[in-house]
Structure 1
């Protein structure tokens, strides 16, 4: 088995936990899931590097998985050829091995009884030496696998939901701070995308979009088809949100769907592509706004989806001014990560009422309000005065203010105010 040639970044905790379980003397049934491209397979192959002689890795497909699984096993254990082509018989033969089945949702789609079959295998066949790992990129399907309605409920010994890397992790790819902000707006914390990008970003992305076989063009369709059979309505919903149509009525008017659109939104929320954001001081509000959580998804619907025809003709390039405007939202996400890493924060987000909006309000031991400007030569005194005025109108008091910008016109000391420019962010990013 060949370990994938990718930079392995910041999965040390998951790797240590996985190796500990694989080396234990107990039976282990582990479920690992997370969006496509997030690094699940890389993590697993790294974990079993020294255990290859006692392990089987199988990547499921849409058809004929039983036969293909046996064929893969024969490459490691030729004597399995004489075992009956039956899941229970094959697992009986492999019961002292590490068995990894990747993209398990394909097996569920092919055979609706497979969960019950695996229940019998776990309950009656596998012994204390067996390590069974099921992996999947469909978040909804894998969460159903471990839900109380599943035949496998209560059998797993561990589950791992693999999430995106943080912005700070981009330093391990060698990106400097300003270039990292641009790249993060495209890749988010998805390892496969980060491994593809080569700075300078604008030069790379415009070259990539001119390639006939560019992965960027079709990537969103692949991601959505892991979760949904019909994706056109979901694409239009995501496009609407990317255009700033953030409430239920606006989205419904844009998409023009007959009937209720809430079920589509709930499914997109479940797979964590979108979230219904409410003012941070509230726990339940009718003033919620739908936002796209995933940077790549946001990028794709902002720049790729509306320009697919031009991209096919090789005539489209990312406009730097438009991308800079888009980075204002990305800069807010980075600023929140900065605040959370440096202060004791219980809750952080945006605060708004009617036409008043505050970029960052952090609630915790120190109550913090912040504003973000992805611009140079920002006047901090003017931003602070405006922020204080908004807080006064919202009747909110805070202990500290933080203003984020590329650079400031001056760095005079302002009461209870921290100025964070790109140089300050660079020191934090590299720390």
Structure 2
């Protein structure tokens, strides 16, 4: 098993729930591969527990067989869920992929509700339910319509780890290479643990591997949530190719307006897609744009999906990816820059403490990152560039940010202007002029 990395706050919180005296019903969910199972197994390490991975059918029988290995007394219990869970009263019980139980028997939710209310709620039982089907967990387990509503004592949507966590996986890597790795893996532990350095050598070897996880991974992820995979793939491919407005997506996927909306809604609910509006707009703004939620999806649809045939034939050249990779890393680096600013903000290393951060755009004008403190009326405008910049180029970009900031119409606000890039010559001189500038050389101080 790979080394457990990061997740310190989540692990601490989960252990606190599990070590208490009262009943706990904890729901942990998130996209597949994000590390839910590993987190829980780390939390129960050294504690007698039942861990059961739910399957397509006969889950009661399989669960009892699993539980008996740790707690032999279960074999004498009545052979139904009530009798089995009563025999495990006071124990730690982990049921992974709980949605499979719901698929097998939708009545399991009401059954668990009754068992909790009549038998477990006054005990020290710890019941942990995990799920990768985000839509099913939110709709069937967490919503107010669920029979389990009001019974849970804690829930956690596990998200990808931060870019800066990569340093713990690859302590000797250069920051440039970590950005390249992040462009493929995002913060998904399953993918990170497969990467070996040097990155490009590993990628070439992986793409020539006949059993590489690359080939079927996205189909695997989509089939877990949807039945009509081909339509969802067309929409995701559109977004990966820079089609971010509903009209652009419709045109690319050749769909009608009325057809697209439910698909986009489902993709957002399941965590494949996010919708953003300019930071100065309300969430209901018609200026919303759609983006893929993680870098692995973006990488797959940008580089793997269009090249599946040559990859299968063994004729694909990894240089095809390498040539286009700097351009692809532009949006990836924007997200890293956002993480970096949030780190600076927490450590109070900026001229003011911001309370909101996001993108801004209007017509053909865009600013990568705008950080606001609306109470103090202070704003920071930042461009992120995955480039090596001379002092002259950096100055030009900063002055253009200053120009675009006037279009945001924050009259009377105190404004600051910044730039985050791969490398910036003359950083100190630019800072002396009052600009806020950082590059990869500054990352080690704030990881």
Q: Distance in 2 between matches of 1:248 and 1:338?
A: 30
Count of aligned pairs: 423
Aligned equivalent of 2:96, options 102, 108, 126: 102
SS at match of 2:216: helix
State whether structure 2 residue 387 is matched by structure 1 residue 375.
Answer: yes
SS at match of 2:11: helix
TM-score (norm 2): 0.91
CA contact (8 A) 2:27 2:129 kept: yes
In structure 2, the gaps of 5 or more residues are 346-352
Q: Distance in 2 between matches of 1:245 and 1:336?
A: 22
State whether structure 2 residue 94 is matched by structure 1 residue 78.
Answer: no
SS at match of 2:281: coil
Q: Distance in 1 between matches of 2:75 and 2:264?
A: 48
State the shift of 1:40 in Å: 1.0
TM-score (norm 1): 0.94
Aligned equivalent of 2:217, options 219, 224, 236: 219
State the shift of 1:315 in Å: 2.0
State the partner residue of 2:348.
Answer: none
State the partner residue of 2:50.
Answer: 56
State the partner residue of 2:437.
Answer: 419
CA contact (8 A) 2:73 2:87 kept: no
Q: Distance in 1 between matches of 2:421 and 2:73?
A: 65
State the partner residue of 1:323.
Answer: 325
Aligned equivalent of 2:168, options 169, 172, 196: 172
State the shift of 1:327 in Å: 0.5
Deviation track 1:46-77 (CA, whole Å, cap 9, x = no partner) reads 1111112xx11100011111111111112122
State whether structure 2 residue 264 is matched by structure 1 residue 262.
Answer: no
State the shift of 1:210 in Å: 1.0
Moved more, 57-66 or 417-426: 417-426
State the shift of 1:292 in Å: 1.1
State whether structure 2 residue 119 is matched by structure 1 residue 125.
Answer: yes
Moved more, 246-255 or 327-336: 246-255
State whether structure 2 residue 89 is matched by structure 1 residue 68.
Answer: no
Q: Distance in 2 between matches of 1:111 and 1:196?
A: 36
State the shift of 1:399 in Å: 2.2
Q: Distance in 1 between matches of 2:436 and 2:331?
A: 20
In structure 1, the gaps of 5 or more residues are none
Q: Distance in 1 between matches of 2:116 and 2:20?
A: 17
Deviation track 1:311-330 (CA, whole Å, cap 9, x = no partner) reads 11122225212111110111
Q: For 1:213-362, list aligned pairs within 5 A.
A: 213-257=211-255, 259-283=258-282, 284-316=284-316, 317=318, 318-343=320-345, 344-362=353-371
State the shift of 1:183 in Å: 0.6
CA contact (8 A) 2:424 2:438 kept: no
Q: For 1:33-48, list aligned pairs within 5 A.
A: 33-48=29-44
Q: Distance in 2 between matches of 1:395 and 1:82?
A: 72
State the shift of 1:142 in Å: 1.1
Q: Distance in 1 between matches of 2:27 and 2:199?
A: 36
Q: Distance in 2 between matches of 1:333 and 1:387?
A: 18
Q: Distance in 1 between matches of 2:135 and 2:197?
A: 35
